[in-house]
Amino acid sequence: MKLDLDQALISRARTAAASIADGVMAEIKPCTTVAVERSILRLLGVDGVDVDGVPLPNVVVDRMAEEGLLGLGAARVMARAMA
């Protein structure tokens, strides 16, 4: 079965969708919180505590914040660390 769809209309819809997605991403990209980044690390399996009993996700995110890396996102920072 073939759908007789207007390819120009599909192209316009894709362009509009990309524009909307780009706008949303521009708004939300800089918006993160310590809690969100800690949760992401936990989802990635970062577990345990340091010698002072501080959870490792807290240690990593606190260090990221100190170094101005929080905006990059914990997943990206962890991926770079693992590479």
36-66 tens-digit pLDDT: 999 999 999 999 999 999 999 999 999 999 9
| DSSP annotation of 49 | B
Give residues with Cβ within 8 angstroms of 37, minimum separation 6: 57, 61, 64, 70, 73, 74
C-alpha radius of gyration, the chain, whole number = 20
pTM of the full structure: 0.64
Cα four-point dihedral sign 49, 52, 54, 58: negative
Please say if the pLDDT value at position 30 is more than 80. Answer: no
